[in-house]
Amino acid sequence: MKTFVYNGQPARVIFGSGTISTLPEEVERMGLQRVLVLATPPQEADAFRLAKSIGERAAGVYAKATMHTPVSVTEDAMRVVAELNVDGLVAVGGGSTTGLAKAIALRTDLPQIVAPTTYAGSEMTPILGETKDGAKITQTSPKVLPEVVIYDVELTMTLPAAMSGTSGMNAIAHAVEALYARESNPVVSLMAKEAIGALADSLPVIALRPQDPEARWKALYGAWLCGICLGSVGMALHHKLCHTLGGTFDLPHAETHTIVLPHALAYNAPAIPTVIDNLRAVLKADPAMALYDLAGQIGAKRALSDIGMPQSGIDIATDRALANPYWNPRALEREPIRELIARAYAGEPPQA
């Protein structure tokens, strides 16, 4: 008989197809008068279209969001927020744009409306990871939880198949770790298993048919649930490793999660037999190998060496991953952790 605590995160979610059309009324409903629309440089045109739809309540566009949320970019955005007398934020894009909105909200407590275009899931969490001087620092605060999230399947239809795959694998990582988190509970576990199944089914379809609307709907649905999982419980070894690798070597976020996930799960497998059984029911095979195979099926890279990590980084990452103690279901041991990172570097199959 298990004792557990469940904390639900407050957020208004609008989910469907064409739902971005509700943005102007959401801005009005929240009483916002000077909204800044955020985006990455490639999505600047999308940001301007949303600003136009908002009309006179749009104060401007800031399209310089960057991967890993560098503090320097946030400080530049803060200057614009002050100059334009902004009273609310609209973020359109993936984790980079959502991260910038959260970083601004942390410093200003401005309300956020987020319209995700990827499967990152961070829009459903009170978690912010910022990078400064080559180190990524993660913190949790209710200030950074977006007030409104508008999920529009149509916004994901143009997401390239390769990016869709790694973004979806990143989302799966949130749900996998939620199953064995110290704060795991029946509600989150139900969502996690549903989410993993939805993404494992839909990502291979998207790899073959990127315009398949049902697969896109299912993937976005799974990503939403994964985001709730990430925001409701703590994470462990997998996320610690990915933050270490991403912050230290400036590796692409989703690709790093895709590569590390099977290895981190294999490492923890001996300590979480019940979770492994639950995952088998969803993935229909040895879970760690199933995730490794899924990455191959969607055409994702499976070696850290292929996304920019130097071989010398194996020992650096090992040291940093062990530098600050954190909870994990299996005790953190230096040599097995180094072997995990080495196998992920080489792209070898996971091994417990």
Query: Between the CA of residue 212 and those of 63, 102, 179, 242, what are the distances in Å?
Result: 29, 31, 29, 30
The pLDDT value recorded for residue 213 is 97
pLDDT tens column, 172-205: 999 999 999 999 999 999 999 999 999 999 999 9
- The structure tokens listed for 129 are 């990871």
Q: pLDDT grade, residue 325 (50/70/90)?
A: confident
Q: What pLDDT is attached to residue 9?
A: 84
- Does the structure show a pLDDT above 90 at 164? yes
Question: Is the separation of the CB atoms in 68 and 102 below 8 Å?
Answer: no
* Range in 72-76, 105-109, 118-122 with the lowest mean pLDDT: 118-122
Structure tokens at 280: 């088998």
* E strand or H helix at 238: helix 237-249
Judged against a pLDDT cut of 90, whether residue 245 lies above it is answered with: yes
pLDDT of 88 reads 98
pLDDT exceeds 70 at position 313 = yes
- Level-2 CATH architecture, domain 12-156: 3-Layer(aba) Sandwich (3.40)
Q: Is the pLDDT of residue 324 over 90?
A: no
pLDDT digits (tens, 9 = 90+) for 262-290: 999 999 999 999 999 999 999 988 999 99
Of 67, 78, 21, 75, give the one whose Cα is nearest residue 41: 67
CATH assignment of 161-346, among 3.30.70.20, 1.20.1090.10, 1.20.1250.20, 3.40.50.920: 1.20.1090.10
Equal CATH topology for 12-156 and 161-346: no
| Range 236-249 average pLDDT | 93
Closest CA relative to residue 152, chosen from 199, 213, 109, 97 = 213
pLDDT in tens, 28-43: 999 999 999 999 999 9
Cα–Cα dist 17/322, whole Å: 44
* Residue extents of the structural domains in the chain: 12-156, 161-346
pLDDT at residue 1, as a whole number: 63
Per-residue pLDDT at 163: 96
Write down the pLDDT at residue 10. 83
